[in-house]
Amino acid sequence: MTNQESWLRSSIYVFRAACILLVAIAINPGRAGPQTSDNNRPPQGRALPTVVLRDAPLLRLPGGYNPDRKSDFLADSNSPSHWSGSTLYVFNSWEQPWRATGPDAFHLGKGSPVGFENPELKKMWIWVESTWKDDDGMLYGWVHNEVPNVCPPRPDNIPGYPIVVRVEAVRSTDDGANWQYLGSVLGGAADSVRCNTQNPWYAGGMGDQFVMPDKEKKYFYFFFTNYSGVFAEQGICLARMRYSDRDNPRGKVWLYYKGMWNEPGIGGNATPLFPAIVDIARRDCNTFWGPSIHWNTYLDEYVMLLNRVYDSAWQAEGIYISFNPDLSDPNGWSAPQKIMDRGEAIHADPQKPGNGWYAQVMGTGRGETDKLAGRTARFFLDGQSRWEIEFRKPGEK
Asked whether residue 254 carries a pLDDT value surpassing 80, the answer given is yes
Provide the pLDDT for residue 45: 72
Provide the pLDDT for residue 40: 43
Average pLDDT along the chain: 91
Helix (H, G, I), strand (E, B) or coil at 346: coil
Q: Please, what are the domains in the chain?
A: 3-392 (2.115.10)
Average pLDDT for 377-393: 98
Provide the pLDDT for residue 22: 39
CB distance 48 to 377 below 8 Å: no
For 23-60, letters b (16+ CB in 10 Å) and e give: beeeeeeeebebeeeeebeeeeeeebbbbebeeeeebb
Provide the pLDDT for residue 18: 40
CA distance 361 to 389: 8
Asked whether residue 24 carries a pLDDT value surpassing 80, the answer given is no
Average pLDDT for 181-189: 97
Query: Which residue type does 179 have?
Result: W
The percent of residues in the chain predicted with pLDDT above 70, rounded, is 89
Give the model's confidence band at 282: pLDDT under 50 very low, under 70 low, under 90 confident, else very high: very high
383 vs 30, residue with greater confidence: 383
- Give the DSSP H or E segment for 6: helix 3-16
Model confidence over 124-164: pLDDT tens digits?
999 999 999 999 999 999 999 999 999 999 888 889 999 99
CA distance 327 to 303: 10
CB distance 54 to 46 below 8 Å: no
CA distance 187 to 144: 10
Provide the pLDDT for residue 157: 81
CA distance 277 to 256: 19
300 vs 21, residue with greater confidence: 300
Provide the pLDDT for residue 338: 98
Provide the pLDDT for residue 297: 98
Provide the pLDDT for residue 43: 52
Asked whether residue 31 carries a pLDDT value surpassing 90, the answer given is no
Asked whether residue 36 carries a pLDDT value surpassing 70, the answer given is no
Helix (H, G, I), strand (E, B) or coil at 154: coil
The percent of residues in the chain predicted with pLDDT above 90, rounded, is 86
350 vs 356, residue with greater confidence: 356
Model confidence over 37-47: pLDDT tens digits?
333 444 557 89
